[in-house]
Amino acid sequence: MGLESTVFKGSASGSIVEGKTQSNGPTGNEVLVRITHSGICGTDEEYRYADMVPGTKALRLGTNIARTANGTVMQISTKALSARTPSGTHRLFSPCLQGLHLRTPPLSCAVEPLYNVIESYNIRPADRVGVIGVGGLGHLAIQFLTKMGGSPVMFSGTDSKRQEAMQLGATEFTPRKRLAQLEIVCAIFRIYCGGRLLAISTRFLNIIKPTGTIFPLPADTELRIPFLLIVVQGINIQGSLVAWRSVHRRMLDFAARHKIKPIIERFLTTRNGVEEGIAKLREEKMPYRGVLVAQ
Protein backbone atom coordinates (compact mmCIF):
# COMPACT_ATOMS: atom_id res chain seq x y z
CA MET A 1 0.00 0.00 0.00
CA GLY A 2 1.32 3.44 -0.90
CA LEU A 3 2.32 5.86 1.86
CA GLU A 4 2.06 9.65 1.74
CA SER A 5 4.12 11.83 4.06
CA THR A 6 4.06 15.56 4.76
CA VAL A 7 7.49 17.15 5.16
CA PHE A 8 8.88 20.63 5.77
CA LYS A 9 12.14 21.42 4.05
CA GLY A 10 14.33 24.14 2.66
CA SER A 11 14.16 25.55 -0.84
CA ALA A 12 16.35 27.42 -3.31
CA SER A 13 14.86 30.72 -2.11
CA GLY A 14 15.57 29.95 1.56
CA SER A 15 11.88 29.75 2.45
CA ILE A 16 10.44 26.80 4.35
CA VAL A 17 8.12 24.83 2.10
CA GLU A 18 5.66 22.01 2.75
CA GLY A 19 6.00 18.99 0.53
CA LYS A 20 4.41 15.60 -0.02
CA THR A 21 6.34 12.41 -0.59
CA GLN A 22 5.11 9.03 -1.79
CA SER A 23 6.62 5.63 -1.01
CA ASN A 24 5.65 1.98 -1.22
CA GLY A 25 6.79 1.11 2.31
CA PRO A 26 10.15 -0.29 3.45
CA THR A 27 11.71 -3.41 1.96
CA GLY A 28 14.97 -5.24 2.57
CA ASN A 29 17.29 -3.01 4.62
CA GLU A 30 15.05 0.08 4.49
CA VAL A 31 13.45 1.75 7.53
CA LEU A 32 10.42 4.04 7.49
CA VAL A 33 10.81 6.85 10.03
CA ARG A 34 8.39 9.41 11.44
CA ILE A 35 9.79 12.76 12.49
CA THR A 36 8.88 13.44 16.12
CA HIS A 37 11.55 15.91 17.27
CA SER A 38 14.07 17.95 15.29
CA GLY A 39 16.68 20.32 16.65
CA ILE A 40 17.14 23.87 15.37
CA CYS A 41 20.71 25.15 15.13
CA GLY A 42 22.82 27.66 13.25
CA THR A 43 23.60 25.15 10.50
CA ASP A 44 19.93 25.28 9.51
CA GLU A 45 20.54 28.80 8.25
CA GLU A 46 22.56 27.27 5.44
CA TYR A 47 20.58 24.08 4.92
CA ARG A 48 17.33 25.99 4.59
CA TYR A 49 18.47 26.46 0.98
CA ALA A 50 18.70 22.67 0.51
CA ASP A 51 15.96 20.21 -0.37
CA MET A 52 16.34 18.00 2.72
CA VAL A 53 14.52 16.85 5.90
CA PRO A 54 15.61 15.12 9.20
CA GLY A 55 13.79 12.28 11.06
CA THR A 56 13.55 10.30 14.32
CA LYS A 57 11.20 7.29 14.75
CA ALA A 58 11.09 3.84 13.12
CA LEU A 59 7.56 3.01 12.02
CA ARG A 60 8.12 0.02 9.77
CA LEU A 61 11.14 -2.08 8.96
CA GLY A 62 12.26 -3.98 5.91
CA THR A 63 12.48 -7.76 6.07
CA ASN A 64 16.27 -7.76 6.58
CA ILE A 65 16.25 -5.52 9.69
CA ALA A 66 16.85 -7.83 12.66
CA ARG A 67 18.06 -5.70 15.59
CA THR A 68 15.37 -3.02 15.73
CA ALA A 69 11.66 -3.46 16.46
CA ASN A 70 8.76 -1.55 14.93
CA GLY A 71 8.01 1.52 17.04
CA THR A 72 11.59 1.91 18.31
CA VAL A 73 12.42 5.55 19.00
CA MET A 74 15.59 6.38 17.08
CA GLN A 75 17.98 9.29 17.07
CA ILE A 76 19.54 10.34 13.80
CA SER A 77 22.83 12.17 13.47
CA THR A 78 24.04 13.25 10.05
CA LYS A 79 27.45 14.04 11.53
CA ALA A 80 28.70 10.94 13.36
CA LEU A 81 31.59 9.48 11.39
CA SER A 82 32.13 5.84 10.47
CA ALA A 83 35.57 4.79 9.23
CA ARG A 84 36.32 8.38 8.14
CA THR A 85 33.59 8.26 5.51
CA PRO A 86 31.39 11.30 4.77
CA SER A 87 28.33 9.07 4.74
CA GLY A 88 27.18 5.58 5.60
CA THR A 89 24.19 3.87 7.18
CA HIS A 90 26.05 2.91 10.35
CA ARG A 91 26.59 6.54 11.30
CA LEU A 92 22.98 7.69 10.94
CA PHE A 93 20.57 5.71 13.11
CA SER A 94 20.73 4.41 16.68
CA PRO A 95 18.09 3.75 19.35
CA CYS A 96 17.34 6.77 21.51
CA LEU A 97 18.14 6.35 25.20
CA GLN A 98 15.19 6.45 27.58
CA GLY A 99 14.62 9.87 29.10
CA LEU A 100 16.35 11.73 26.27
CA HIS A 101 13.67 11.59 23.54
CA LEU A 102 12.86 15.30 23.61
CA ARG A 103 16.41 16.36 24.46
CA THR A 104 18.36 14.23 21.99
CA PRO A 105 18.22 16.55 18.93
CA PRO A 106 20.42 19.27 20.50
CA LEU A 107 22.78 16.61 21.90
CA SER A 108 23.18 15.06 18.44
CA CYS A 109 24.11 18.40 16.92
CA ALA A 110 26.97 20.65 18.06
CA VAL A 111 27.57 18.73 21.31
CA GLU A 112 29.31 16.01 19.28
CA PRO A 113 32.47 18.06 18.55
CA LEU A 114 32.34 19.48 22.09
CA TYR A 115 32.36 16.02 23.66
CA ASN A 116 34.97 14.82 21.17
CA VAL A 117 37.26 17.65 22.27
CA ILE A 118 36.82 16.77 25.94
CA GLU A 119 37.49 13.07 25.34
CA SER A 120 40.19 13.25 22.69
CA TYR A 121 42.38 16.19 23.67
CA ASN A 122 43.28 15.48 27.28
CA ILE A 123 40.74 17.68 29.06
CA ARG A 124 41.15 16.13 32.49
CA PRO A 125 39.19 16.21 35.77
CA ALA A 126 40.13 19.24 37.90
CA ASP A 127 41.18 21.29 34.83
CA ARG A 128 39.95 24.87 34.65
CA VAL A 129 38.47 25.27 31.20
CA GLY A 130 37.26 28.56 29.78
CA VAL A 131 34.01 28.60 27.83
CA ILE A 132 33.07 31.73 25.91
CA GLY A 133 29.33 32.27 25.73
CA VAL A 134 26.51 30.80 27.83
CA GLY A 135 24.26 29.99 24.90
CA GLY A 136 22.96 26.92 23.11
CA LEU A 137 26.34 25.16 23.19
CA GLY A 138 27.93 26.90 26.16
CA HIS A 139 25.28 25.84 28.67
CA LEU A 140 25.83 22.21 27.65
CA ALA A 141 29.61 22.60 27.90
CA ILE A 142 29.12 23.65 31.54
CA GLN A 143 27.20 20.47 32.30
CA PHE A 144 29.56 18.06 30.55
CA LEU A 145 32.69 19.62 32.05
CA THR A 146 31.17 19.72 35.54
CA LYS A 147 30.03 16.09 35.46
CA MET A 148 33.52 15.07 34.31
CA GLY A 149 35.03 16.82 37.31
CA GLY A 150 36.30 19.90 35.49
CA SER A 151 35.94 23.54 36.52
CA PRO A 152 34.22 25.53 33.76
CA VAL A 153 35.06 29.23 33.79
CA MET A 154 32.37 31.09 31.88
CA PHE A 155 32.95 34.27 29.87
CA SER A 156 29.98 36.34 28.77
CA GLY A 157 29.33 39.77 27.36
CA THR A 158 26.78 40.54 30.09
CA ASP A 159 25.71 39.36 33.54
CA SER A 160 22.24 38.32 32.34
CA LYS A 161 22.93 34.56 32.49
CA ARG A 162 25.14 34.48 35.57
CA GLN A 163 22.55 32.77 37.78
CA GLU A 164 21.71 30.09 35.20
CA ALA A 165 25.40 29.40 34.54
CA MET A 166 26.17 28.92 38.23
CA GLN A 167 23.13 26.70 38.72
CA LEU A 168 24.27 24.50 35.83
CA GLY A 169 27.65 24.00 37.50
CA ALA A 170 29.99 26.80 36.42
CA THR A 171 32.63 27.48 39.05
CA GLU A 172 33.30 31.05 37.89
CA PHE A 173 31.45 33.60 35.79
CA THR A 174 33.39 36.52 34.34
CA PRO A 175 32.08 39.35 32.14
CA ARG A 176 34.54 40.01 29.35
CA LYS A 177 35.35 43.48 30.66
CA ARG A 178 36.88 41.87 33.77
CA LEU A 179 39.19 39.46 31.94
CA ALA A 180 42.29 41.31 33.12
CA GLN A 181 41.47 40.35 36.72
CA LEU A 182 41.20 36.60 35.99
CA GLU A 183 43.89 34.07 36.81
CA ILE A 184 45.35 31.87 34.08
CA VAL A 185 43.26 28.88 33.02
CA CYS A 186 44.71 25.69 31.55
CA ALA A 187 42.67 25.58 28.35
CA ILE A 188 39.99 27.58 26.64
CA PHE A 189 37.06 26.58 24.48
CA ARG A 190 36.07 29.13 21.90
CA ILE A 191 32.41 28.24 21.55
CA TYR A 192 30.05 30.30 19.45
CA CYS A 193 26.80 29.32 17.79
CA GLY A 194 25.44 31.99 15.48
CA GLY A 195 27.74 32.40 12.51
CA ARG A 196 29.40 35.69 13.44
CA LEU A 197 33.03 36.46 12.72
CA LEU A 198 35.30 34.91 15.33
CA ALA A 199 37.86 37.11 17.03
CA ILE A 200 40.13 35.98 19.86
CA SER A 201 41.37 39.16 21.54
CA THR A 202 44.64 39.74 23.37
CA ARG A 203 42.65 39.74 26.63
CA PHE A 204 41.72 36.09 26.12
CA LEU A 205 45.23 35.06 25.07
CA ASN A 206 46.68 36.61 28.22
CA ILE A 207 44.65 34.28 30.47
CA ILE A 208 45.47 31.06 28.65
CA LYS A 209 48.14 28.94 30.26
CA PRO A 210 51.35 28.84 28.17
CA THR A 211 51.10 25.88 25.76
CA GLY A 212 47.34 25.87 26.42
CA THR A 213 44.85 25.18 23.67
CA ILE A 214 42.05 27.02 21.89
CA PHE A 215 39.32 24.82 20.43
CA PRO A 216 37.26 26.78 17.86
CA LEU A 217 33.90 25.00 17.58
CA PRO A 218 31.61 27.20 15.43
CA ALA A 219 31.05 26.39 11.78
CA ASP A 220 31.69 28.43 8.63
CA THR A 221 33.33 31.44 10.23
CA GLU A 222 36.75 33.03 10.01
CA LEU A 223 39.12 33.16 12.96
CA ARG A 224 41.00 36.38 13.74
CA ILE A 225 43.73 36.16 16.32
CA PRO A 226 46.88 38.13 17.33
CA PHE A 227 49.52 35.72 16.04
CA LEU A 228 52.51 37.06 18.00
CA LEU A 229 51.07 35.90 21.33
CA ILE A 230 50.36 32.48 19.82
CA VAL A 231 54.07 32.14 18.99
CA VAL A 232 55.47 33.64 22.21
CA GLN A 233 53.23 31.63 24.55
CA GLY A 234 53.22 28.42 22.52
CA ILE A 235 49.42 28.36 22.36
CA ASN A 236 47.78 25.66 20.26
CA ILE A 237 44.75 26.11 18.01
CA GLN A 238 43.12 22.69 17.67
CA GLY A 239 40.39 21.69 15.26
CA SER A 240 38.11 18.77 16.02
CA LEU A 241 36.36 16.08 14.04
CA VAL A 242 32.65 16.01 14.72
CA ALA A 243 32.72 12.59 16.43
CA TRP A 244 33.25 8.95 15.67
CA ARG A 245 30.15 6.81 15.97
CA SER A 246 31.54 5.21 19.15
CA VAL A 247 32.23 8.63 20.67
CA HIS A 248 28.72 9.75 19.78
CA ARG A 249 27.25 6.76 21.60
CA ARG A 250 29.43 7.39 24.66
CA MET A 251 28.31 11.02 24.68
CA LEU A 252 24.64 10.01 24.75
CA ASP A 253 25.31 7.36 27.41
CA PHE A 254 27.15 9.91 29.55
CA ALA A 255 24.37 12.48 29.15
CA ALA A 256 21.69 9.96 30.13
CA ARG A 257 23.65 8.66 33.12
CA HIS A 258 24.36 12.13 34.50
CA LYS A 259 21.01 13.64 33.49
CA ILE A 260 22.58 16.27 31.25
CA LYS A 261 19.74 17.99 29.43
CA PRO A 262 19.69 21.00 27.15
CA ILE A 263 17.40 23.88 28.03
CA ILE A 264 14.97 23.94 25.13
CA GLU A 265 12.21 26.02 23.63
CA ARG A 266 9.55 24.07 21.74
CA PHE A 267 8.04 24.91 18.36
CA LEU A 268 5.37 22.98 16.48
CA THR A 269 6.45 21.06 13.39
CA THR A 270 4.30 23.13 11.06
CA ARG A 271 5.39 25.58 8.43
CA ASN A 272 4.67 28.49 10.77
CA GLY A 273 6.41 26.72 13.66
CA VAL A 274 9.54 26.02 11.63
CA GLU A 275 9.69 29.59 10.32
CA GLU A 276 9.16 30.97 13.84
CA GLY A 277 12.00 28.88 15.26
CA ILE A 278 14.43 29.72 12.44
CA ALA A 279 13.57 33.43 12.66
CA LYS A 280 14.12 33.48 16.42
CA LEU A 281 17.51 31.85 15.98
CA ARG A 282 18.48 34.22 13.17
CA GLU A 283 17.52 37.25 15.27
CA GLU A 284 19.54 35.88 18.23
CA LYS A 285 16.47 35.72 20.44
CA MET A 286 16.87 31.99 21.18
CA PRO A 287 18.48 31.86 24.64
CA TYR A 288 19.53 28.22 24.42
CA ARG A 289 18.22 25.52 22.02
CA GLY A 290 15.09 25.13 19.92
CA VAL A 291 13.31 21.84 19.19
CA LEU A 292 10.53 21.20 16.67
CA VAL A 293 7.87 18.86 18.08
CA ALA A 294 5.39 16.97 15.91
CA GLN A 295 1.69 17.45 16.68
The residue ranges of every structural domain in the chain are 3-109+263-293, 122-237
First to last CA, the chain: 24
Nearest alpha-carbon partner for 5 in 53, 72, 68: 53
Q: Which residues, in sequence order, are CB contacts of 39 under 8 Å at separation 6+?
A: 105, 106, 108, 109, 289, 290, 291, 292
Render 210-269 in DSSP notation, one character per residue: TT-EEEE--SS--EE--HHHHHHHT-EE----S-BHHHHHHHHHHHHHTT----EEEEES
pLDDT per residue, tens digit, the chain (295 aa), is 577 777 788 888 888 888 887 877 777 777 677 777 788 877 777 777 777 664 343 344 444 444 555 555 555 554 444 444 444 444 455 555 555 555 666 777 767 778 888 888 878 888 889 888 888 888 999 999 999 998 999 988 888 889 999 999 999 998 877 777 777 776 666 544 334 445 677 777 888 888 888 888 765 567 778 888 889 989 888 887 777 778 888 888 898 889 898 888 999 988 899 889 988 988 888 888 888 888 7
Cβ(49)–Cβ(14) below 8 Å: yes
DSSP class of residue 178 equals G
213: part of which helix (H) or strand (E)?
strand 213-216
Separation between Cα atoms, residue 202 and residue 216, nearest integer Å: 16
Residues facing residue 223 across a β-bridge: 198
The pLDDT tens digits of the residues spanning 237-287 come to 888 777 777 888 888 889 888 989 888 899 998 889 988 998 898 888 888
What does the pLDDT read at residue 70? 56
Task: For the domain covering 3-109+263-293, report its CATH number.
Answer: 3.90.180.10
Query: Cα–Cα distance between 286 and 266 in angstroms, integer?
Result: 11
Distance CA 141, CA 137 (A): 6
Q: Which helix (H) or strand (E) holds 6?
A: strand 3-9
Give every CB contact of residue 169 below 8 A, 6+ residues apart in sequence. Answer: 142, 143, 145, 146, 147, 152
- pLDDT tens for 138-168 read 899 999 999 999 899 998 888 888 999 999 9
Q: What's 122-237's CATH class? A: alpha beta
Q: What is the share, in percent, of the chain residues with pLDDT greater than 70?
A: 72
Element (H, E) at 59: strand 57-61
Contacts of 23 (CB under 8 A, 6+ apart): 2, 3, 5, 32
